[in-house]
Structure formats: structure tokens, C-alpha cells
Structure 1
Amino acid sequence: MMGLWEWITDMGNSKMVALLLFMGTFIGVVIFLFANRQRARKFETYRYIPLDDDDSHREPVARRDKTKSDEQ
């Protein structure tokens, strides 16, 4: 057990352990997101949010309701 600890704490080997740990975490998150079809569909709808230029959904609800009632 002490030999394993010395191997991990060696700077050359700790980089490999960190890489495997972070890669495993990344793959786990991707599997979690896309394993459930409903969650995957919902996640895909968020894909274009940064490119969405329509600001009407960002207005406060009270203001949006007031402008709609004024138009009618």
C-alpha cells in the first residue's frame, strides 16, 4: 500500500492519475446527460440559447402582460 502511495505522489505519475480521474468524470457527466432520452432532448434545446436574439422572453412578466393588453 505504501508503494502505491509513493507511486501516486510522484509528480510524473500524479498527472496520469489526475487525467484518468477527470476523464472518467467527464465521461460520466456525458453519459448522465444523454442516457435518458427526455433529458437529452431537453439538453439539446438549450443548445442555441447563446445565439438567440429574441429578447422578448427576457422582459419581466408584468411588463409583457401590460404591452399585450395595450395592443388588444
Structure 2
Amino acid sequence: MFDWLMWFTHMENSKPLALVLFFGAFCGILIYVFTGKRRAKRLESYKYIPLDDDDPPRHSTAQAGYHSQSRKVMDNE
């Protein structure tokens, strides 16, 4: 009745099965990542992040408050 379990415990049988399972999961992840137009455009835009040297605009009130607060913390140290 549990012969399949004994078959699976042998390394020469479980390694190919694990390989097929992991390869299937890998292919599923690739299909998920590279399908869908919105996801593809978003992932393509990420490739320029290391080259983006522009500073964020400083005219925003939320960012100005953040910068002044961080300077206060630095001055107190």
C-alpha cells in the first residue's frame, strides 16, 4: 500500500522528481513575471534606477519638513 513512499525515499528516485518540481516552479515564476503588459513596463523601468542621479524636488512641504528634521537630529549628535 505504501510502496510509493518507499520508492520516493531512494535518492535515485527522489532527485529527478525534485528536479522536475523545482524546474516547474521556476518556469511558473518566469511566466508570471514576464507576462502582463503593465508588469513588463514596470520591470523595464527598473533597469534605469542605478543610473538615476537626479535629486528629488525640494519644493514639496513634506520633504522640506523631513530634511529640516533630519538636520536637527544631525546637529544634536
Same fold (TM > 0.5) = yes
- List runs of 5+ in structure 2 lacking aligned partners: 57-62, 68-77
Percent identity (aligned): 44
Deviation >3 Å, runs of 4+:
none
- Normalized per residue, which structure has more helix? 1
Instruction: Please name the residue that 2:18 is paired with.
Output: 18
- Aligned partner letter, 2:21: L
Instruction: Please name the residue that 1:8 is paired with.
Output: 8
* Max Rg structure: 2
RMSD: 2.4
Instruction: Please name the residue that 2:55 is paired with.
Output: 56
- List runs of 5+ in structure 1 lacking aligned partners: 64-72
- Tell me the TM-score normalized by structure 1: 0.61
Which fold has the larger relative contact order, with Cα–Cα distance below 8 Å and residues 6 or more apart in sequence?
1
- Tell me the TM-score normalized by structure 2: 0.58
Matched positions, count: 60
Instruction: Please name the residue that 2:74 is paired with.
Output: none
